[in-house]
Amino acid sequence: MSMTAKEYLSQAYRLDQRIERKIEDRDRMRAKLQKATAQITGMPRGGSGVDWTELSVRAMEYDAKIAREMSELYRLKTEIEGVIAAVEDQRYQRLLTLRYIDGKRWENIAVEMSYSWRRVMQMHHEALRAVIVPESLH
């Protein structure tokens, strides 16, 4: 089943949200590790029952996993931006960027582009027809 241009472009805004969640996850994990380290520091050795080597390895593995996931999300977002940039009509490029990259509402796009809401919707339909979804997704 192939992805429509709208489905493909709609991923961009959700990608930003997913990237933010990954960053928050990573930061929470690091904060927990730092807190645990601070609580254990100063206690007599051997009394904590915590295997710091294993905990550190797991933290590094988790950090690497998030870095790989974020890299893939950034790659896809860059690809989507390139697909929009490949649209010949610059008005369409702007409209698609405002909607799918910036996540703006139709009413705001109409005001920003100085068109009626109805005209923006017509242009959106035209712009989607000008989008070429990468073959790898078909």
Considering the domain boundaries, does residue 48 fall inside one? no
Average of pLDDT values for 20-41?
77
Let me know: does 9 contact 131? Beta carbons within 8 Å. Answer: yes
- Tell me the residue type at 57: V
Q: Tell me the CA distances in angstroms from 110 to 13, 30, 45, 102, one per residue in order.
A: 19, 43, 65, 14
Asked whether the predicted pLDDT for residue 103 surpasses 80, the reply is yes
Model pTM score: 0.70
Let me know: does 22 contact 73? Beta carbons within 8 Å. Answer: yes
Considering the domain boundaries, does residue 138 fall inside one? no
- Which pLDDT tens digit goes with each residue over 49-72? 666 777 778 778 888 888 888 888
Considering the domain boundaries, does residue 30 fall inside one? yes
Average of pLDDT values for 27-32?
81
Considering the domain boundaries, does residue 65 fall inside one? yes
- Which pLDDT tens digit goes with each residue over 65-97? 888 888 888 888 899 999 999 999 999 999 999
Considering the domain boundaries, does residue 93 fall inside one? yes
Mapping DSSP to helix (H, G, I), strand (E, B) and coil, where does residue 16 land? helix
Considering the domain boundaries, does residue 9 fall inside one? yes
Considering the domain boundaries, does residue 109 fall inside one? yes
Q: How many domains does the chain have?
A: 1
Q: In which domain, by residue range, is 103 found?
A: 5-41+53-132
Burial (CB count <10 Å: 0-12, 13-18, 19+), residue 94: middle
